[in-house]
Structure 1
Amino acid sequence: MQFELDITKRLRSGGEEFLLRSRFSTTDRALVLFGPSGSGKTLTLRAIAGMLKPDEGYIKLNGNVVFDSAKGINVPTRDRNVGYVFQDYALFPHQTVRQNVGFGLKPLFGKLHPADAERVEELIQVFGLASVASKKPVALSGGQQQRTALARALATSPNLLLLDEPFSALDQPLRLRMRDELASALENFNIPLIMVTHDSDEVESFAETIVVYRDGSVTDVHSAREISDSGLSLTETLRKQVALAYQ
């Protein structure tokens, strides 16, 4: 994956201003945005997806410019070909698991194309959702909701998967199991990802490149491989970064 981002966004709420200044690039397939809550990670992810328009700068995905303020380019979310898993999964409560998974494939009017319907059923099988395919989100466990959200994000065969703290709503035992399931799914689908987290264990599980945020800005960019090759502990390196954020 070739990824390059350099954006600025000013947000105002209750008379206070938050300045997001995000800049980094990578060719790795697994990128993690790491830092404390409120440091700008999710805002960056939303900008990548096209859900937040930066004030200035540019975003390039695999050499394709999806945003450039100077050139007046702002590719709509639907045309960026990215899958997004929200922190709370954002499943449609009135739809079944099967309908949620197929949402991005369904035309505005009419039924799913047979090939798309087959794609939905394949994903339901891959993520172990066959027994709950006709149920609505309220009847699902946390793990089942997460798998449904992930299947929905992958249904359109995106070029990039965006994950916003995908394990934060799960208790610890389930969180560990779902990490393994997600790692397996990503390997099977061979898809690049950008994940937001403030959990160093999740960084260790998924990251090739770690972008560290503090107070709305990128403070460091680390290569997990280089840290490991140097003999340093990735966990300890990140803990020091977090400690700096609270000084």
Structure 2
Amino acid sequence: MQFELDITKRLRSGGEEFLLRSRFSTADRALVLFGPSGSGKTLTLQAIAGMLKPDEGYIRINGDVVFDAGRGINVPTRNRRVGYVFQDYALFPHLTVRENIGFGLKPLFGRLKKADADRVEDLIHVFGLANVAGQKPGALSGGQQQRTALARALATSPKLLLLDEPFSALDQPLRLRMRDELSRSLEQFDIPMIMVTHDSDEVESFAQTIVVYHNGNVENVHSADAIAASGQNLTETLRREVARAYN
């Protein structure tokens, strides 16, 4: 994946202004946005997905320009070919697992095409959801909800998967198991991803490139391989960096 982002966004809430100034690029397939809560990670993810329009700058995915303020380009979310897994999964409570997974494939009127319906069934089986396919999200466990959200994000065959703290709603034992499941899914579907987290263990599990945020700014960009080659510990390196940002 070739990814380039250079954006600025000013937000005002309660009389206070938050300035997001995010700039980085990578050719790696697993990118993690790391930093404390409220530092601008999720805002960056929303801008990539097209849910937040920056004031300035550009976003390019594999050479395709999806946003460029100077050129007046702002590709709609539905045309960016990105899958998004929200922190709370954002499943539609009135739809079944099967209907949630197929939501992005369904035309405004009418039923799913046979090929799309077959894809939904394939995803149901890949993610082990056959026994709950007819149930609604309120009847699912946390792990089942996450697998449904991931299957829904992958149903449209996106070229990039965006994950906003996908394990934060899970208890520790389930979190560890779902990390393994996500790793297998990323390999099976051969899809690059950008993940938001403030958990250094998740950075170690997934990151090739780590973008460190603090107070709306990108403080540093690290290569996990370069840190390992230098003999340093990735988790300790990130902890020191975050600690310095608060000094």
- Paired residue for 2:245? 245
Q: 1:243: Cα distance to partner? A: 1.2
- Paired residue for 2:213? 213
Superposed counterparts of 1:4-23, under 5 Å: 4-23=4-23
Q: 1:129: Cα distance to partner? A: 0.3
- Paired residue for 1:94? 94
Q: 1:125: Cα distance to partner? A: 0.3
Q: Distance in 2 between matches of 1:152 and 1:241?
A: 36
Q: 1:246: Cα distance to partner? A: 2.8
Aligned residue for 1:108, secondary structure, equals coil
Q: 1:244: Cα distance to partner? A: 2.2
Q: Distance in 1 between matches of 2:240 and 2:201?
A: 14
Tell me if the contact between 1:34 and 1:196 (Cα under 8 Å) persists in the aligned partners: yes
Aligned residue for 2:205, secondary structure, equals helix
CA offsets 1:186-232 (integer angstroms, 9 cap, x no match): 00000000000000000000000000000000000000000001111
Q: Distance in 2 between matches of 1:242 and 1:181?
A: 29
2:178 partner amino acid: M
Q: How many corresponding residue pairs? A: 247
Aligned residue for 1:83, secondary structure, equals strand
Q: Distance in 2 between matches of 1:61 and 1:162?
A: 13
Q: Distance in 1 between matches of 2:121 and 2:230?
A: 45
1:123 partner amino acid: L
2:34 partner amino acid: F
Q: 1:242: Cα distance to partner? A: 2.0
1:112 partner amino acid: L
| Superposition CA RMSD, Å | 0.5
1:5 partner amino acid: L
Tell me if the contact between 1:3 and 1:62 (Cα under 8 Å) persists in the aligned partners: yes
Superposed counterparts of 1:19-30, under 5 Å: 19-30=19-30
1:156 partner amino acid: T
Q: 1:245: Cα distance to partner? A: 3.3
Say whether 1:160 aligns with 2:164. Answer: no
- Paired residue for 1:147? 147
CA offsets 1:12-60 (integer angstroms, 9 cap, x no match): 0000000000000000000000000000000000000000000000000
2:13 partner amino acid: S
2:30 partner amino acid: A
- Paired residue for 1:192? 192
- Paired residue for 1:226? 226
Superposed counterparts of 1:99-178, under 5 Å: 99-178=99-178
- Paired residue for 1:68? 68
Q: Distance in 2 between matches of 1:128 and 1:6?
A: 39
1:235 partner amino acid: T
- Paired residue for 1:50? 50
CA offsets 1:163-187 (integer angstroms, 9 cap, x no match): 0000000000000000000000000
Q: Distance in 1 between matches of 2:134 and 2:6?
A: 43
Q: Distance in 2 between matches of 1:72 and 1:177?
A: 44
Unaligned runs of 5+ in 1: none
2:120 partner amino acid: V
Q: 1:241: Cα distance to partner? A: 1.7
Aligned residue for 1:100, secondary structure, equals helix
Name the TM-score, length of structure 2 as normaliser: 0.99
Tell me if the contact between 1:36 and 1:245 (Cα under 8 Å) persists in the aligned partners: no
Aligned residue for 2:177, secondary structure, equals helix
- Paired residue for 2:203? 203
- Paired residue for 1:35? 35
